[in-house]
Amino acid sequence: MPHSALERLQQDHRQIETLLNVLEHQIAAVDRGDRPDYALMYQVMHYLTYYPDRYHHVFEDLLFERLVSRRTDLKPVIDTLAGQHETMTNQGVQLRSLLESVLNDLPVARPDLVRQGDAYLTAYRQHLECEETDVFPALIDSLMQSDWMTLLTRFEWRADPLFAAQADREYDLLVETLQAMGADPTLLQEQYESTCPACSGDGRRLMPRGGVTD
């Protein structure tokens, strides 16, 4: 159970990195003055600010809190990571709001969109690297079976609305993009089910396309 739960988090990280790559490609198009796929960008940010922010990061915070009780020497890095979760949530909501404005044909300055997008990408990737390098090994070494069982029974996972056998329809464009990249989210269902014993789904409506101003 400990290893399968950690594998779930690591799988989430790989999926998040794939989405960050999609977002990075589109932000680069904005920076060049090209016309990116704003609807695709919005779907990426809609997912990242819904599922990882509300479930993945929250479960990590529970694990990290328990880890500090057994490894007080890790408190500084854990405090930093917990703060980053909050910061990234705020950054993500701000970036999603900018994209929503674009899709509603409201004026958005291109430099603002690029700056916020680049900052979000950098912060997220540094955060994932720190967790993988400094904290995840300590979770295996320091937490007991009872710790994992207690936290898993306390936490209520929800079904991943994107990386599942049947993704929510509001992510259709993103699913098509991932499939074209060779990262078909439907192929990850077996790993997903093995680490999520009881899940149910949720979702929200997305927006049409739009544009930005220089």
| pTM of structure | 0.85
Q: How many domains does the chain have?
A: 1
For residue 120, which of 100, 103, 86, 95 has the smallest C-alpha distance?
95
166 domain-assigned: yes
174 domain-assigned: yes
202 domain-assigned: no
131 domain-assigned: yes
Residue span of the structural domain in which 47 resides: 2-195
162 domain-assigned: yes
Q: What is the CATH number of the domain that holds 9?
A: 1.20.120.520
Burial class of residue 90, CB neighbours in 10 A (0-12, 13-18, 19+): exposed
User: Would you write out the chain's pLDDT as a tens digit for each of its 214 residues?
Assistant: 566 889 989 999 999 999 999 999 999 999 999 999 999 999 999 999 999 998 999 999 999 999 999 999 999 999 999 999 999 999 999 999 999 999 999 999 999 999 999 999 999 999 999 999 999 999 999 999 999 999 988 888 788 889 887 788 889 999 999 988 877 675 554 545 544 433 434 433 333 344 566 5
